[in-house]
Amino acid sequence: MVIRNDCRTKIILGGVLKGINMKLTILGCSGGYPAPGGATSGYLLQIEGKNILIDCGSGVLSRLYSIINPDELDAVILTHLHADHISDVAVLKYALQMNRQNGTEIRPIPLFFPQTPESIALTLSNDPNLIPAQIGPFSELPLYGAKAQFIRTVHPIECYGIRITYMDRVFAYTSDSVYTPDLVPLLRDADLAIFDSGGLEKYRKPGMMHMTPTEVSILSKESGVKKVVLSHFVPYYDILEIREEADAREDFPYVLAMPGQVYEI
Ligand SMILES: [Zn+2]
Ligand SMILES: [Zn+2]
C-alpha cells in the first residue's frame, strides 16, 4: 500500500504553475551545518512542471517532501561534493528504494555531479534509482527545454556555479566560491541569482572559502543581476550582522534567503 500525504497533495495543488517560466523554492540556506530547524544548501527549481533539485544538503529531503514526493524529481544537480551540499543524497536513495519496495513505480532520476573527489563521487555512482552523469568546466546541459551552463568557482574542491536559461529568463547560483570576476559570465543580467554569502568582513580570516555581503554587492553590480539573494549563512553568525554589512553598501537591494521562500523568475 502506498501511503499518500494529504497535506503534501494540497501544497502541490496550490503550487500549480500558470504563466510562470521558472519557480524557485529555497529548501535550505545554511552553510556548513544546518541552523536550528533549518537545512543546508538545497533549491527546488520547477520549470513547466519539471522538478529539478539543485544541491541536497542536510535537512533538504524533509523540506522537499513538504512540496513533492522524492520520486517526482526529474533531475538532481550537485554543484560540488562537500557534505553540506550532498549529505541528504544518502537518504534520498533510501526514500526511492523504500518507495519502490512499497509499490511505487520509480523512474530512475538523472544525478549530475563533478567527478572529484573520486572517493565521494564513487559513492554516488552505484544506485539503481539514480542515473549518474558528469558535469565539468563550461559544460552545458539541456534541461527539459531549459539550458544549464556550468562555470567552475574558486573553492577547495571542484565546484560549479550554475546558470539556467529558460525562454527569456535567467536563474544563476554561485554555489560556494570566494569572490572572483570569473563569475561575471555566469551571473550576467540574471533575473535572480543566489550568492554564497557565508563570510563576514569583520570576521575575515586567511583562507576563507566564501564571499561576504560586501563582495556580493560588488559582484552583483559587475554582473547586472536584477534580484540578489544572499545565502549559505554560517549558523554561528548573527543574521543581524549579515544584514548590517549588506545595508552598509550603497545602492544594494538584496534579500536574505530563508527556507520556504518561493520566487517566480
Ligand atoms: Zn557549502
Ligand atoms: Zn563547499
> Is residue 2 in a domain?
no
- In the reported structure, the alpha carbon of residue 224 is separated from the centroid of ligand 1 by a whole-number distance in angstroms of 24
Instruction: Give residue-wise pLDDT tens across range 117-144.
Output: 999 999 999 999 999 999 998 789 999 9
Instruction: Give residue-wise pLDDT tens across range 148-160.
Output: 999 999 999 999 9
Q: Which domain holds residue 213?
A: 21-264
> Is residue 76 in a domain?
yes
Cα–Cα distance for residue pair 44/255, rounded to 1 Å: 18
User: How many domains is the chain partitioned into structurally?
Assistant: 1
- In the reported structure, the alpha carbon of residue 198 is separated from the centroid of ligand 2 by a whole-number distance in angstroms of 10
- In the reported structure, the alpha carbon of residue 41 is separated from the centroid of ligand 1 by a whole-number distance in angstroms of 7
Q: Which ligand is nearest to the CA of 234?
A: 1
Cα–Cα distance for residue pair 242/249, rounded to 1 Å: 12
> Is residue 10 in a domain?
no
Mean pLDDT on 239-253? 96
Cα–Cα distance for residue pair 171/22, rounded to 1 Å: 8
Instruction: Give residue-wise pLDDT tens across range 66-119.
Output: 999 999 999 999 999 999 999 999 999 999 999 999 999 999 999 999 999 999
> Is residue 5 in a domain?
no
Q: Which ligand is nearest to the CA of 157?
A: 2
Say if residue 18's pLDDT is above 60.
Answer: no
> Is residue 8 in a domain?
no
Q: Which ligand is nearest to the CA of 233?
A: 1
- In the reported structure, the alpha carbon of residue 80 is separated from the centroid of ligand 2 by a whole-number distance in angstroms of 7
The confidence score (pLDDT) of residue 7 equals: 30
Record the cell numbers describing residue 98, joined without a space. Answer: 523504500
Say if residue 13's pLDDT is above 70.
Answer: no
> Is residue 7 in a domain?
no
What CATH code is carried by the domain that includes residue 172?
Answer: 3.60.15.10
Q: What is the mean pLDDT of the chain?
A: 92
**Rg, the chain, Cα only:** 18
> Is residue 16 in a domain?
no
Q: Which ligand is nearest to the CA of 31?
A: 1
- In the reported structure, the alpha carbon of residue 109 is separated from the centroid of ligand 1 by a whole-number distance in angstroms of 23
Inter-CA distances, 148 with 22, 36, 151, Å: 13, 32, 10
> Is residue 154 in a domain?
yes
Record the cell numbers describing residue 30, joined without a space. Answer: 545554511
Say if residue 17's pLDDT is above 50.
Answer: no
Q: What is the pTM of this model?
A: 0.92
The confidence score (pLDDT) of residue 12 equals: 31
Cα–Cα distance for residue pair 139/93, rounded to 1 Å: 26
Q: How confident is the model at residue 48 (pLDDT cuts 50, 70, 90)?
A: confident
